[in-house]
Structure formats: structure tokens, C-alpha cells
Amino acid sequence: MVQEQLNKNLPVFILGPCGIESEEVVMKTADFVCKQRTKHADRAVFLFKSSFMKDNRTSSDSWSGPGIEAGLRILEKAGIEFDLPLVTDIHTADQAAPCAEVCHMLQIPAFLCRQTSLLNAAGKTGIAVNVKKGQFMAPWNMKGAVDKLKAAGCPLVLLTERGSFFGYGDLVVDMRSLTSMSSLCDGVIMDLTHSMQKPGAGGEYTEGDRTFVKQMARASAAWGIRGMFLEVHPNPPCALSDSAVMLNFAETEAVLDEALLHWEGPPL
């Protein structure tokens, strides 16, 4: 069912809190995502995403998540209660199979986008995979990641643009990458919130500026893409990860409305 939805020419929205902070945060956010799916029925595909592990934190003292067992249990509960397809990050090859038993799509973090063993394991699960383009990668060099996944049997590969390093402590988005990557995969996703990060700009934490998210959504939708990735939280200032760029529910709803208003579909 999810694979059929993803194969339709409809915008795809991947939404959820950065990490699985608690069952309460996950369930509140999943409820919001469910309501957006109802609001935009037959206009878009909605998936719920959150991570059981945040494994690339700047500081060793940073919160890193509940772990795979507890995290998947909470994700599964949200998916069942709100009838939402699920997405989560995997960081090691041995996480692919258990995550694929619960989730409908696996996500490869940006810093691991070239990790052959991880891509092979993800591809062998037989479900869709979304690969974040590394901040250090040229868009056309993502062909290797796609080829590895396809060779392993992955039925649908998405690539996500999340910005490129611009000196130290900042990211920029080259919109041309949206078209460059579209010929390599089954669809390009624009990561609206991570692309607003300022990595390590806060010393032991990542800063960012969420005020540009709506404009980036409008530009990406008009440019022509497959979907968008948005980190959403009931109370972003209190979030344990990515608090500087996550959106609250009202902000997210406004961004979704804006994106769908300007949507042009995938680039030719």
C-alpha cells in the first residue's frame, strides 16, 4: 500500500520530531501529521519520521535517543494508532532488518551516504530508502549510493538535499542539485529544516535559523521536486535535538499550505 502511494505522482511529505524524545512527543506529533493527511487527502502522501538514535552529536554529553528497541516500540505504536507509514534512520547494517519490520522506509543519514555495507543492508530489506546527500557531496556523485541500493534490490530510492558546507558553521542550498539528482533516483526530497542549520556554530551544539523555511518551501515547490522533509515538534525550544530549526504545528501547517499552493511537480 505504501509503495503504491509512493509510486503515485503526488507530493511526499516526511514529517516528525528529530528524535524520539518520549512517547508523548511522538504521539502528539503523529496526531498532528494524521490531521494534515486528512486535510490534504488525495493531494499528498504523508510519512511519519523520527530517529531512535542521534549518533553524530557534537558533544559526548548530548542526548542521543532511546535506542533501537524502545524507539521502534514507540514508533510502531504511533504508526498503528494513527495509521501512518513510518520512517527512521539507520546507522549500522545490523539495524536495517529490524527497522524494516516496523517501518515502511529507511533513511540513510547524510554523513553515512557513502557507507557501502549500510546501503547494501538497507537495499536488501526490499523497502524504500531515502538517502540524505552528504553536506560534503556533489549532487552527481550520489549516483554511487543509488547504484548500491538498486543492486541490492531496493525498489525505490529517494535522494534528499540538505545543504552543503559553506565555510565553517553554515550551510547553503544550491537549487541546481534538485535537478541534478532527479535523473539519478526515483525522486528528490528537499530537507527544509536541516538545510537551515549552522553546524557547530554554537560550539558544542548546532545553531540554525528556521525563519527561511517557508521561503525555501515555496522555492523548492516551484522548482519541481518529489517531496519535502520537515522536522516538527510540539514545542521546538524545548526539543532535545535540532531545537533551532524544528517547526511547531502552526508553522508546519502554514509551510505545507504554502508548498502545495506552489507545487509544480518533479522537474523534467
In the predicted structure, residue 268 carries a pLDDT above the cut 60: no
Who contacts 41 (Cβ-Cβ below 8 Å, separation ≥6)?
A: none
Three cell numbers, residue 33: 501529521
How far, in Å, are 11, 61, 64, 169, 221 from residue 196 at the CA level? 21, 23, 21, 11, 17
Query: How far is Cα 181 from Cα 166, in angstroms, rounded to an integer?
Result: 20
- The CATH number for 61's domain is 3.20.20.70
Reduced to 3 states (helix: H, G, I; strand: E, B; else coil), residue 241 is: coil
- 160 in a structural domain: yes
When divided into structural domains, the chain yields a total of: 1
Q: What is the pLDDT of residue 58?
A: 61
Average pLDDT over residues 17-32: 97
Q: How many CB atoms lie within 10 A of CB 262?
A: 13
Supply the range of the domain harboring residue 254: 2-262
Q: What is the pLDDT of residue 65?
A: 80
148-175, pLDDT tens digit by residue?
A: 999 999 999 999 999 988 888 788 999 9
Average pLDDT over residues 95-111: 97
- 212 in a structural domain: yes
- 21 in a structural domain: yes
- 267 in a structural domain: no
